[in-house]
Structure 1
Amino acid sequence: MDRKDGTMAKERYKSLWDLTRDQRGRYSASIAALLIAIGMSLLVPLATRSAIDEIVLGGASPWWLLIAGAVIVLFSLSSALCMYAKGRWVAEASHGVAKQARERLFDHLQHLPCTYFDRADTGDLVQRCTSDVDTLRIFLTTQLVQIGRAVLMLVILVPLLAFLDLRMTALSLAVIPFIIVFSTWFFRRVKTLFAKADASEGAMTSVLQENLTGIRVARAFGRQGFEIARFGEHAAAYRDDSFAVSRLKARYWGLSDLLCMTQVGVVLLGGAAWVFDGSLTVGTYFAFVSYINMLVWPIRQLGQILTELGKAVVAMGRIEEILEVSRESNDGDPIVAPKQPGRIAVRNLSFAHADGTRALTDVSFCVEPAETLAIVGPPGAGKSTLMHLLVRLYDFTEGAIELDGRDLSRIERTAVRSRICAALQDPFLFSRTVGENVKIGRDDASATEVVDAAETACVHDSIESFEQGYDTMVGERGVTLSGGQRQRISLSRAILADPDVLILDDTLSAVDSKTEGRIRSAMSARHGRRTTLIIAHRLSTLAHADRILVLTEGRVREHGTHAELVNRGGPYARLWKLQSTFESELAADMVPGRGEGS
């Protein structure tokens, strides 16, 4: 292990120790109970030794033996009660640590920048929040106190053995150094293998999560066989890496058992020889046979302790990788302006993604309070990127965005998002009731306000047709609903939030023209209540806007009203003509009595 690895390992141990901060009282109580239990268990062989020697020497009375037996039972019972207390307290402490670790991880993930999730695998993140935290819990439950037990055994038992007989003590410790050295070697080897196996499990979990999320796509394209084979490859890699760990553990347990039995054999044979020549009493011999089992098997468990420690260190490292990522900054003024006016000014705005891909270049425009601005452009023109910048999901590096005269980058993100609300292109719904999904942005909204927002989004009738209405549970990601229903519920929660600036990012792409017209009429009734930015590919959705912005390859190509752009004869006019012609022909074809033979 080089210096860098050593430093990193120390940091992981420290992080593991820091996790126990709030539960150290219970862990201390557990160790205290363990100390008492060890003390009681160590007294049992001493009482037995005295009884045996008295019997062998012929001086033991029945009453004395009865008292000795009662003392042995009392010590054993006290030890058992202390071990129960130890087990209970350490379990409570470990589950408390695991709960705190999961909550800390989840809280941290909630505040990480979007750029992190652009690169991260969801399945791997899930494993770190569940399986890796469970690995820590298992170590803290079963092994942390065992470390204390092994140390206490050595500290207490070795002086006691030396007090009874120095020669037997030397025999009892003859093989112990070899067991410790072998356990240390095993720990170093197994830690590397655990890291590899954990990474394989994370990759397998990612494939599983991705496939379950997109299972309809896989079936639609008949890709089940390919996906099964792909998952099989990752499952095989995880199997092989796990088997490598199991193979190493099997070698350790086999050789450590051999060493431990050798140690017991040395004590049995050497002690028997001294008993026969009269230099060791039978009672002392029995005590050493009892004590050597108390000493050697916990030390043999050092391998298991180090195994779980290795797993815990690897798991802690994977957890720390998340916790070390800097949180999304929330610097700026914590100002939440009143519900109006909502003026947006964008000046010379440029933005590039983490891989260097340019998304926006020198974009400038202004949206007055209560005005509706439509943004149109081909895929990849930068429309959605612009919306993400407006709600500070990403931060721009060149130019400026102002909200009511204030630089957006100097306003706290939470304050920005309380004033600007977006119905994003992907209408994500949580696995909750329909009503709870609508109220995502306003938990305190009344039932009347929820219904009003749903009616504006033209989804109220659909919701009422469900068996349980607004209390109907939707599946994960809203899979039990149609695409249009998901989009309209997403729109209704944006409307319910009642922001100063409303952003609709291709929100009606899965909605039919008739329903879109009804939504447009309902939204028009609200016209003037808030600043609105609309992104859409269907130009009929945009024609009613006060002004239209045309983006091409991240640049502003045209800017003006619908009439001005049509008369200008540019890209917007050509696209408008194509869509209008197509819609007219489609409407004519849908007239009854017209078709291929008419």
Structure 2
Amino acid sequence: MSPVPTLLPTSDAETSPLRALWRHHRRYRPRVVAAAAATTLNTAADVLPELLLGVAVDVVVRGSDSFAATLFGVEDRFSQLVIVAAVNAGVWVIESITDYVASLLWRGLAQDVEHDLRVETYTNVQELDVSWHEGSAPGRVLSVISDDVNQLERFLDTGARVILHTFWTVVFVGAVFAATSWTLTLLAFLPVPVIVIGSIVFQRRLEPLYARVRARAGDVSATISTNLGGLSTIKAFTAEAREVERVREVSTGYRDANLTTIRWSSAFVPLIRMAILAGFTSTLLLGGWLVINGRLEVGLYTILVFMTQRLLWPLTDLGETLDLYQRAMASTRRIFALMSERGDTRPGASSLALPVRGRLELRGIRFGYADGPDVLRGLDIVVPAGETHAVVGTTGAGKSSLLRLVLRFSDPREGQVLLDGTDVRELGWDALRGAIGYVSQDVFLFHGTVRDNLAYGRVDATDEQVREAARLAEADAFIAELPQGYDTVVGERGQTLSGGQRQRIALARAILRDPALLVLDEATSAVDTETEAAIQRSLAAVTASRTALVVAHRLSTVRDADRIWVLAGGRVAESGSHDELVAAGGIYAGLWAVQIGEAVGAGSRAR
């Protein structure tokens, strides 16, 4: 299984995924600011109850000399407590409201960013050329679009808020300590540098580990996706046990990568707990000693004890948050790497003059795959508008490569492909492929109704236009016999239909598009004789008024073509009508003799 180039990080995502996110999602910056402000206010309201508890203790202990008495000008203790309780209730209301607002903003932001990245990443992947996809494992790409985007959403949903909440907790609690006792401040904050340094060390250690986890997750997704797509082949070759073992191997790799990461990330929380114990014990003992010796008020001591816990205990969440952060950053690098991919084939900006006639010309074509040898060499083919031309040849002659150039799934190394006299590289995708109706050898139908699949290339088609295309493709009769007719759901890849039925639906889909140029790739190679005859009748009807280019293995399907081009070794070896080529006694005549001989032989054996 070849590696997927998209999973290599770009320099931008590699150096700072968060900075890349901040630049990429500029439109969400006001919402980030609003969410941060709500979290800040929520944290302040969350800290105040501990202060009010100390004030209440001070009221009980000192009475008319308490801080509340001085602040509110009330001497009665119970009245002071009522005021403190009222203030506390207001603080709780503010805390609850800001918690709701912050949660709404952060979680909504996470959903919007997740949605945007998934759509943008898929859009970029869809725009990449066919050759890029042929060199990439779909399962790994799916892992980035689905799982990696979800990892980032989980961090934005909770992790960002926890980090901000922890930061402001340290600031607000630190301000209370600093206003009370610098000695206690130093002791209470003593664990913080240990936690910060420990976080940095763990972050650097965990970063490559989580990158490895995400890569192994891609392996699992790719393997399972491939196996599910080839399930019938697996069963036909009784390879179930072998494929289970393959899945077990990649799953073991994913599990082991996760376990290694877990061993490191799990050690972070115990480290923090020991630091918290040291800070809490210091405040408890030294603060108590100051109270006993009359150097600190009981209320302040109560505040500081609670504040120490308030300061240090949220830091235990950093372990889980750090885990979320590292997973999200590893995923973000993969997301931006995939979004930065650019294919070799880019659309032009020109359009074809109307009406499109469909004249096709391949001029001086030289073509090969990647760094491999030339597959097509000096190819010159002209298909006049309105004519039906066929391309035949033995396996490896270059027939499918020729069609790739016509559809512009690839570009030639030399030469030009011209449609109505315009180089296809100058045309936009709508102009080029909008003028072409394509029927492939391996028909792909989407999960949906028959009508949905027929109208896929022309979604605004009326029911009558859909039925007319089906009649031309001789598909209307068998569609009418389906359980719900045109509303019958065909299943993924059209698995509920036979090969011949799928082929006729594909032909009808191309006809409904009303293309100037109809391109068929081995359209009858996998169908029975009856279906082949039906497709031949359909082609005779639909090609009467348009240009058609037919690649065929069964020569009987192209014997009526205006011209037949015979490829050999990537070059045009012969061309002419069926009768001319048979009379010439060349390559085509040999192929025809073989097929006729096989047919006669098969008929003799049947008798």
Same fold (TM over 0.5): yes
Deviation, structure 1 residue 319? 0.6
User: Are 2:569 and 1:553 aligned?
Assistant: yes
1:126-153: CA deviation from partner (whole Å, max 9, x where unpaired): 1111111111111111011222222322
Contact persistence 2:56–2:81 (CA under 8 A)? yes
- Cα 1:328–1:460 change in 2 (3 A) is farther
- Aligned residue number for residue 278 of structure 2: 262
Percent of aligned pairs sharing the same letter: 34
Are the structure 2 counterparts of residues 208 and 263 from structure 1 closer, same or farther at C-alpha, using a change threshold of 3 Å? same
Match of 2:40 among 35, 52, 66: 35
Residue of 397, 422, 426 corresponding to 2:413: 397
Q: Is 2:191 the counterpart of 1:175?
A: yes
Instruction: Identify the match of residue 22 of structure 1 among 21, 27, 42.
Output: 27
Q: How many residues align?
A: 588
The answer on whether the counterparts of 1:373 and 1:533 sit within 8 Å (CA) in structure 2 is: yes
Secondary structure at the aligned position of 1:437 is classed as: helix
Q: Which residue of 2 aligns with 1:66?
A: 82
Q: In 1, distance between residues paired with 2:516 and 2:25?
A: 46
- 1: CA distance, partners of 2:538 / 2:135: 39
Deviates more, 1:503-512 or 1:327-336: 327-336
Task: State the Cα deviation string for residues 306-358 of structure 1 (Å, max 9, x = none).
Answer: 32221111111111111111256554343133344221121110111114242
1:284 to 300, 312, 315: 300
Structure 2 counterpart SS, 1:528: coil
Q: Would the aligned equivalents of 2:434 and 2:515 in 1 still touch at CA under 8 Å? A: yes
Q: Is the 8 A contact 2:511 2:542 kept in 1?
A: no
User: What secondary structure sits across from 1:130 in the alignment?
Assistant: helix
* Superposed displacement of residue 518, structure 1: 2.7
Decide which moves more: 144-153 or 242-251: 144-153
Determine the structure 1 residue equivalent to 2:396. Answer: 380
How far does residue 440 in structure 1 lie from its aligned partner after superposition? 1.3
User: Is the partner of 2:153 in helix, strand or coil?
Assistant: helix
Distance 2:160 2:247 in 1: 36
**Cα distance in 2, alignment partners of residues 343 and 58 from structure 1:** 100
* Aligned counterparts of 2:25 and 2:435: Cα–Cα separation in 1: 41
SS at match of 1:504: strand
CA contact (8 A) 1:488 1:508 kept: no
1:295 lines up with 2:340 in the alignment? no
Structure 1 segments (4+ residues) deviating >6 Å:
4-7
Secondary structure at the counterpart of residue 336 of structure 1: coil
Alpha-carbon distance in 2 for matches of 1:21, 1:265: 46
- Please report the TM-score for the alignment, with normalisation by the length of structure 2: 0.93
Selected match of 1:346 from 362, 374, 378: 362
RMSD: 1.9
Task: Determine the C-alpha separation between the residues in 2 that align with 1:85 and 1:278.
Answer: 44
Amino acid of the structure 1 residue aligned with 2:422: R
* Per-residue deviation, 1:57: 2.7
Q: Which amino acid aligns with 2:302?
A: F
String of CA shifts for 1:500-522, please: whole Å, max 9, x gaps.
11111001112222232232123
Aligned to 2:55: 50
* In the alignment, structure 1 residue 360 sits paired with structure 2 residue 376: yes
In structure 2, list runs of 5 or more residues that go unmatched: 1-8, 65-75
Pick the aligned partner of 1:252 from 268, 279, 291.
268
8 Å contact from structure 1 (residues 9, 313) kept in 2: no
Equivalent residues of 2:12, 2:20 under 8 A apart:
no
Paired residues of 2:504 and 2:535 also in contact (CA < 8 A) = no
1:404 deviates by 1.7
Choose from 105, 108, 116 the match for 2:124: 108
Letter in 1 for 2:314: P
Mark the CA change 1:297 to 1:269 in structure 2 (over 3 Å): closer, same or farther.
same
Q: Determine if contact 1:186/1:303 at 8 Å carries over to the other structure.
A: no
CA distance in 2, matches of 1:174, 1:120: 52
Cα distance in structure 2, aligned partners of 1:87 and 1:19: 23
Does residue 9 of structure 2 align to residue 13 of structure 1? no
Return 5+ residue gaps in structure 1 as ranges. none
For 1:39-438, what aligned pairs fall within 5 Å after superposition? 39-59=44-64, 61-326=77-342, 330-438=346-454
